[in-house]
Chains A and B, each alone.
Chain A
């Protein structure tokens, strides 16, 4: 597990327009710049909200990141159902 690296990637995508563009052009290539486990890479590539949340990604990194990936409030809430 490399939660630090996982969160660092999301931090870069959320805050820097140029990095965000690189991520959008080729997510798989963008991920190579970070030391991630296979499970983390898969969760990112699938924008798996529940998995990323369970892995411990800070909610204020995860929600903006999922908004950038066009995940609605309703779908976000649905993905986290039962984790309260």
Chain B
């Protein structure tokens, strides 16, 4: 049983902070599908959400930047951004599940850091706002460094996701897995607003075709040049493709939303 739901979703802060700046039809199509995905997650009745996520300087700084970090806290507060137009709140954690994952990793050849206190920024809190709107399902954040180089490779992210997936399949709990980030965007850069639609479409095609060789071959330089500094977040999607390797991804929505400055994607994975 155990993994009962999986999806990947973008998390552009404009989705909530300046929703109305986007063309109405585009915003409604994307956010409507985001909410539907939340209903599907609820219908799967998960005991916990394992979130393959990123952060934007919410916790880690250049004094100590883990490649992978698993949150082992009893709860997480967010969002840190007062301009996000998502009310401040708290989502429960699942410390025993996190501890079991960390133990399994260390026994199985992965050495993530762990943290008993993490703040959530829009990277995690925005997807939870749509997918876990009552903040009722406990969350285990698994943070991947997609923020500042050097970052773990696509191949390593896939292997890490694949390993977590195997462990979670044996969990007595019902697990929803979510991946968040991407697709192409250049947040806060001089190129802010650029979206590389051909890159995004090719990436989605590779994901849906389950072309694992291609997914694991994305290099840092390729992502950086083609999908921007924000595009590095596709590592979470690649990790999820590893976690539910045999499931079939299905595209729910792709919208290059210029005022949100992001190629926004929603993909659900069907067992």
Contact = CB atoms under 8 A, between A and B. Distances in A.
Interface of A: 4, 7-8, 11, 14-15, 53, 58-64, 67-68, 73, 76-77, 80-84
Given A4-B62, A14-B80, A15-B119, A77 B193 contact: yes
A66 B162 CA distance: 39
Chain B interface helix/strand/loop/mixed: loop
Contacts of A64: 56-57, 81, 83, 188
A84 B191 contact: yes
Contact of B187 (A8, A14, A59, A68): A59
A53 B190 CA distance: 9
A7 B189 contact: no
A83 B190 contact: yes
Contacts of B26: none
Which residue among A11, A62, A77, A83 has the maximum number of chain B CB atoms within 10 Å of its CB?
A: A11
Interface in B18-62: 18, 21, 56-59, 61-62
Contacts of B58: 15
Given A7-B62, A14-B57, A73-B18, A59 B80 contact: no
Contacts of A73: 18, 21, 259
Given A84-B190, A84-B191, A60 B147 contact: yes
B268 interface: no
A73 B17 CA distance: 11
B126 to A, nearest CB: 14
B229 A59 contact: yes
Interface of B: 18, 21, 56-59, 61-62, 80-83, 119, 147-148, 186-193, 229, 259
B80 A15 contact: yes
Contacts of A62: 188
A62 B192 CA distance: 12
Contacts of B62: 4, 7-8
Nearest to A14: B57
Given A11-B61, A15-B119, A83-B190, 4 more contacts: A61-B57, A63-B188, A81-B190, A82-B190
A11 B62 CA distance: 10
Contacts of A11: 57, 61
A58 B187 CA distance: 10
Contacts of B18: 73
A59 B188 contact: yes
Contacts of A15: 57-59, 80, 119
18 contacts: A4-B62, A11-B61, A15-B119, A59-B186, A59-B188, A59-B189, A60-B57, A60-B147, A61-B57, A63-B187, A64-B57, A64-B81, A64-B83, A73-B18, A73-B259, A77-B193, A82-B190, A84-B190
Contacts of A84: 190-191
A84 B191 CA distance: 6
